[in-house]
Amino acid sequence: MKRSIFDTATSIETAYTKLAHWYKDVENTGFRAFNTIANTISLNYRSILNYFINRSTNASAESFNAKIKAFRAQFRGVKNTEFFLFRLTTIFA
């Protein structure tokens, strides 16, 4: 997807229009390699357009989830949930 949609669109309506034009352009190219991403965007366009409400993402939540997964993998899983949550709050809070 063209990054310029996120940089230049000032409203959900504008972004929706630009996203629709991008999707149509992808369809017209005939490149089958783009079908997967185009279908993903088509299925999730409402969530994608939510970015334009206040221009925020869930990147910090995704980053924290990655840290939790790495922490859990370091100790080969969780046997005692209460202690695991205690360790998480001690380290990441």
On whether the CB atoms of residues 1 and 14 are closer than 8 A, the answer is no
On whether the CB atoms of residues 77 and 65 are closer than 8 A, the answer is no
Residues 7, 18: Cα–Cα separation, whole Å = 12
Residue 19 shares a structural domain with residue 47 = yes
Residue 9 shares a structural domain with residue 47 = yes
On whether the CB atoms of residues 22 and 2 are closer than 8 A, the answer is yes
pLDDT for res 2:
53
The structural domain count of the chain equals: 2
- Sign for the CA dihedral angle at 69, 72, 73, 74 comes to positive
pTM for the full predicted model? 0.51
On whether the CB atoms of residues 41 and 71 are closer than 8 A, the answer is no
pLDDT for res 14:
85
What residue numbers bound the domain in which 44 lies? 4-54
Per-residue pLDDT of the chain (93 residues; tens, 9 = 90+): 456 777 777 777 888 888 888 888 888 888 888 888 888 888 888 888 888 877 777 788 888 889 888 887 877 777 788 888 888 888 777
